[in-house]
Structures are given as C-alpha cells and as structure tokens.
Structure 1
Amino acid sequence: MAKGDDLDPKGLIEESYKIEGISAPECRSIFLDWALSYQGVSVVGISALLARHGTGTDDHPMTITLREGLTASQTPTRRGGRRGRLAK
C-alpha cells in the first residue's frame, strides 16, 4: 500500500475507495484506524476527506462512514455519572 499524505497518513481512506465490494463494517474499521493515526482536528480532516473522495460516491460505504463520523463528532452527549442521575 502506498504511503499517503498529512490528511491520510497511511493511505487507508484512498485505498478503501479502490476496494470493490467493501462493506460498511470494513469501512468503519478503516475509519477507526485512520482516526487513531490522524494528527489534526478530526472534523477538519473528515471534511477534507469528503471533499477529496466524496464527490460522486454518495452510496459508497466509506462516504457514508465519513458522513456519520462528521455528524457524530459534532453532537456530543452526556454519558452518565452521579450528577446526571441526581439532576432529575
């Protein structure tokens, strides 16, 4: 696999678009690997990856995964704890 650039250091996202028949779970695994190796702000990186690869690939599992990653990172939710239980 060829090395990528600052946006896609391992070239994982680019390669995922080249794999025929790739599934959504495989794309999520690749996305997780990318997120762990990316050195920038993830929202900026995901947006740039969508600009680079998302045009004309609306139904590709990686495009869908990237969009979900962008949405999930913008809507944080409280996950519990003592204060959350007592607030009601």
Structure 2
Amino acid sequence: MKGDENDPKGLIFEAYSIEGIVKSECRTIFLDWALSLPVECETGPVLRILLAQYGAAHPDHPMTQVITEGLAGMTAPRRRGGWRSRARN
C-alpha cells in the first residue's frame, strides 16, 4: 500500500509502522506529506480516505489524532489578526 495517490511518498504508511512514534513526530511527517501532494489536490477527501484506511485499525495512534485534527482544522477557516477581525460596537 506504500506510495499510492493518497500517500505519494508512503509517509503516512511509514508513520503507522514506526514503533513508539510520538505526536510531534507525526505532525512533522504530516506536514511533509501535505507538501508532497499536487497543488490541485483537495486535502479534505484525501484525509478522510487515509483515516478510513489506517485510523480504524489504529484508533489510538498519534498519526490518527494528527489526521483527525487536520480534518477539524480544515472545516473552520477563519481570518486571523488585523483590525477588521476585531468586534465593533
């Protein structure tokens, strides 16, 4: 399953294979994975596929947590900073 269209470099596959991996390492791998995707690729559907592919078998794995957080972060985009984001009376 290593190196398919959803995981071009096999990074997610490898992360699930590493014994004792921690969440911070999974975040680094996740960032590298995201940067390796083609520009036109929509990340949300791919994350859902990866979560179904690996998350069900490894619900307590730190990469499952990182992928889930990635999905949650995508659903709530918001503007940050600047005077326009402040509440007005």
The normalised TM-score by structure 2 is: 0.88
Aligned-pair CA distance for 1:86: 7.0
CA distance in 2, matches of 1:27, 1:86: 36
Unaligned ranges ≥5, structure 2:
none
* Deviation per residue, 1:2-30 (Å, 9 max, x gap): 96011100000000000000000000000
**Equivalent in the alignment of 2:64:** 63
How far apart in 2 are the matches of 1:32 and 1:56?
22
- Alignment-derived partner of residue 6 in structure 2: 7
- C-alpha separation in 1, matches of 2:19 and 2:82: 44
* TM superposition outliers: structure 1 runs of 4+ over 6 Å: none
CA RMSD of aligned residues (A): 1.7
Measure how far apart 1:82 and its partner are. 3.1
Aligned residue for 1:15, secondary structure, equals: helix
Q: How many residue pairs are counted as aligned between the two chains?
A: 87
Could you tell me which runs of 5 or more consecutive residues in structure 1 were left unpaired when the two chains were aligned. Answer: none
Partner residue in 1 for 2:75: 74
